[in-house]
Amino acid sequence: MRTFLFCLRTAVRNLKDHWLATWLTIATMAFSFLVCSFFLLVYLNLQSITQRLLEQVRVIVYLDENLSSKEVTLLQEKIRRENGIDQTVYISREEALNELKKDFIENSNIFKGLGEDLLPASFELKLDPDHQSVEAVTQLIERLKVIKGVQEVQYSKEWVADLNNFLKFLRIAGSGIGGVLILAVVILTGTTIRMVMQLRREEIEVMRLVGATASFIRLPFLLEGAMMGICSSGLALLLLSFLFQLVHARIATVGGFLLARLHFSFFPLAALPWFLVIGMVLGVVGSGLSVVRSLEI
Amino acid sequence: MIELFHVYKSYIKGRPALADVTLSVEKGEFIFVVGPSGAGKTTLLKLLFCMEQPDDGQILIQGRNIAKLKSTSIPYLRRNIGFIFQDFKLLAHKTVFDNVALPLLVKGTNTSEIQKKVSEVLRMVRLDYKKEVFPPFLSGGEQQRVAIARAIINDPMVLLADEPTGNLDSASARDIFELLEMIHMRGTAMIIATHNTIIVNQMRKRVVGLVDGRIVNSERASTGSV
C-alpha cells in the first residue's frame, strides 16, 4: 500500500510537472472519446426509435365495399389465424373518417359536404415482434392479398427496410471510426508516456541502481496513463452531455411536431461509470505498451 | 564472500575488457583496484553490480552465481550492494534527504523508519544540517558524501566505488576516503577503483592491479602499494 501511494504521488507529480503535454493529450483523447460516444449515442437512440416505430407499424387491410357484418367477422377470423399477427382491430368507415378528422382538426371544414362512407373499412393488424422482418411481412401481405373480401393491403415496408439498412450502416461506420479513434487514444497515451519517460530517464536509471524493481518503476507511468484516460473520458462525457442538453432544448423549441415526439435520451446513469473504466483501461494499455517497450530492466 | 572464476568480458571482438580474471574478496575486506585507463576496472565493478553480464566465467556473491542471475532478481541483489559513481548520480530535483531515502522507498520502508535511518546516515556523513538542500547547491565533496550516504543506507555487505574522487580536489578526496575508511571499520567490504595512487599508498590496503583486462598483482594489506 505504501509503495502504491508513493507511485501514485510520483504519477501525480509527473502529470503536474508536464502539465501542458498532459492537458494537450487529455484534450485530444477527450475529442476521440467524444466522437466515439457521439456515434454510440446516435446509434442507440436511432435503434430505440426504430424499435418503437416498428412496434407501431401496422398492416392495414382494406376491405371490399358492401361486406355484410357476418362476412366481416369471418374475414377477421381468417386473418387472425395467419402467422405473425398479434392483434386484429376492425375499423369501420365511420371510425376511419373520425380519425382522419382528428388529424385535420384545424381544417375540419374540408370534410363538409362529404359522405360518411368516404373511407373504406379496414382491419388494422398489429404484428408479432418475432415476425417483423421485411421478408416475413412481405410474405404475409402476399397471403392476405389473395383472401376474398380484401381490396388492398398497405404496409410501408420500404421505409422500414431503409431504416434498418441505415442502422446497419451506422453500426459498421461507427465501429470503424470508433476503432480508429480508440487506436488513436492508445497511441497518444503511449507517446506522451514515452516522452515523460525520456525526460525522467536519469531518475529511472538511479532507481534501477538503488534496487527498484521493474514494476516499481513502471507503476507510476501506468497510473499516469490511467488518470489521463479517466480525465479524458470524463471530459468527453461532460461535453457530450452539455451538447445533448443544448440540442435537446433546441429540438423542443424549433424541432417541430415530429422531432419532438421522437424522445431522444442520453446514456443511462448506470452506464456512465463504464465510460470512465474504458477510458482508464485504454490509458493503461497505451502507457503499458510504451513502458514495456521502453524499459529494459 | 565474493569470488570471480576465470571471468571474461569484451565489448570489441579481439580486445577483452577482462580476461581470465580470478579473484576472491573476504567479508569486510578493503580492496583498491588500480590500473591505467581501459584496464578493466570499471568493467569489473559493473559485473559485480550486474550492470553487465560476463561472456564467460562465474561470479559468486555469497555463494550465488550472479553471472546467470535473472533480470527480475537483479534489483534484490542491488539492495545489498552499494555503488558510488564518479559523477555522483544524484537527482537534482530531489533534496538531500529524498536522495538518500530513495533506496528505502523502493523497498517499501515505512516513513518513521526512513526518517530515523536517513537522519542517522546523514549525521555519519556530516550533512544532517543540509538535508533540505538540493544537490546543485552542494560542493562536489558534499555531493559525493550524499551519494555515499545513499549507498550505505541499506547496510550493504559491500560497497563498490568507481573513481569516487575523480571529480574532486585533493582535500575533498581525502575527506571521502576517510569517510569510506570509517564505513569500512563498521564491517562493510569495499572495492574501490581509483587512479589516486597517493591515497592507495597511504591507506595500505589490499591492491589488485589490472592491465589490459588481466590481474597482474593482488597483494593483501600491509604490503599493498602501487
Residue of B nearest to A2 (CA): B108
What are the grid coordinates assigned to A45, written together?
Answer: 437512440
Which member of B71, B76, B83 has the closest CB to residue A209? Answer: B83
Is residue A282 within 8 Å of residue A229, measured between CB atoms? yes
Name the DSSP letter for residue A250.
H
CB contact at 8 A, B47 and B19: no
Looking at this predicted complex, what is its ipTM? Answer: 0.88
How distant is the alpha carbon of residue A221 from its chain centre? 34
| pLDDT classification of A265: cutoffs 50, 70, 90 | confident
Closest residue in B to A1 (Cα) is B108
DSSP letter assigned to residue B52: S
Written as one string, the DSSP assignment of A141-203 is: HHHHHTSTTEEEEE--HHHHHHHHHHHHHHHHHHHHHHHHHHHHHHHHHHHHHHHHHHHTHHH
User: Is some CB atom of chain B closer than 8 A to the CB atom of A297?
Assistant: yes
Residues A2, B108: C-beta atoms closer than 8 Å: yes
pLDDT band at A159 (very low <50, low <70, confident <90, very high): low
Cell readout for B119 is 537522519
Return the residue in A1, A16, A209, A219 with the most chain B beta carbons within 10 A, the one to mutate for interface testing.
Answer: A209
- Nearest neighbour of B78 by CB, restricted to A203, A205, A210: A210
More confident residue, B84 or A53: B84
* B80 neighbors B157 (Cβ within 8 angstroms): yes
pLDDT tens column, A202-257: 888 999 999 999 889 989 989 999 999 999 999 999 999 999 988 888 776 665 55
Express each pLDDT in A55-102 by its tens digit: 667 788 888 888 888 888 888 888 888 877 888 888 888 888 777 777
d(CA B38, CA B18): 10
Residue percentage of chain A with pLDDT more than 90: 14
- Which residues of chain B, if any, have pLDDT below 70? 220-226
Q: To 10 degrees, the CA torsion angle through A54, A56, A59, A62?
A: -160
Which alpha helices (H) appear in chain A, and where do they start and end? Answer: 2-17, 19-56, 69-80, 93-103, 134-145, 157-199, 201-209, 214-254, 256-260, 272-294
Q: Which CATH number fits domain A58-155: 3.30.450.40, 2.30.30.100, 3.40.50.300, 3.30.70.3040?
A: 3.30.70.3040
In chain B, positions 97-156, which contact chain A (CB-CB < 8 Å)? 102-103, 105-108, 110-111, 150, 154
Q: How many CB pairs under 8 A join A and B?
A: 50
Q: Chain A closest CA to B204's CA: distance in Å? A: 30
> What is the distance in angstroms between the Cα of B225 and the nearest Cα belonging to chain A?
31
For residue A128, which of A87, A173, A156, A94 has the smallest C-alpha distance? A87
Q: Which helix (H) or strand (E) holds B175?
A: helix B170-185
pLDDT, residue A127, reads 81
DSSP-based three-state secondary structure for A58: strand
Q: pLDDT tens, B23-66?
A: 999 999 999 999 988 888 999 999 999 999 999 999 999 888 88
Closest CA to B22 of B11, B34, B8, B32: B8
Q: Does the beta-carbon distance from A211 to B75 stay under 8 Å?
A: yes
DSSP-derived secondary structure letter, A271: G
Cα–Cα distance for residue pair B44/A89, rounded to 1 Å: 96
Q: How many CB atoms lie within 10 A of CB B119?
A: 14
B3-41: b or e for each residue (b if 16 or more CB lie within 10 Å)? bbbebebbeeeeebbbbebebebeeebbbbbbbeeebbb
User: Which residues of chain A neighbour B160 with C-beta distances below 8 Å?
Assistant: none
Tell me whether residues B150 and A205 touch, CB distance under 8 A: no
Domain with CATH 3.30.70.3040 in chain A: 58-155
Question: How far is Cα B35 from Cα B226, in angstroms, rounded to an integer?
Answer: 9
Cβ atoms B42, B33 nearer than 8 A: no
List chain B residues with CB under 8 Å of A205: 89
Q: Measure CB to CB from residue A212 to each of B75, B90, B91 and give the nearest one.
A: B75
Cell numbers of A191, please? 507517446
| Whether A2 contacts chain B with CB within 8 A | yes
**pLDDT recorded at residue B223:** 46
In order of A173, B29, B118, B126, the CA distances from B186 in angstroms are 72, 11, 17, 17
Q: Do B72 and A213 touch (CB under 8 A)?
A: yes
For A206, which of B79, B91, B107 is closest by C-beta distance? B91
Distance spanning both ends of chain B, measured CA to CA: 25
In chain A, what residues touch B79 (CB-CB under 8 Å)?
Answer: 210-211
Amino acid A154: pLDDT: 83
| Residue type present at position B69 | L
Residue A265 grid cell: 435520451
Q: Left, alpha or beta for B222 (phi > 0: left; psi -120 to 50: alpha)?
A: left
CB proximity A256 to B under 8 Å? no
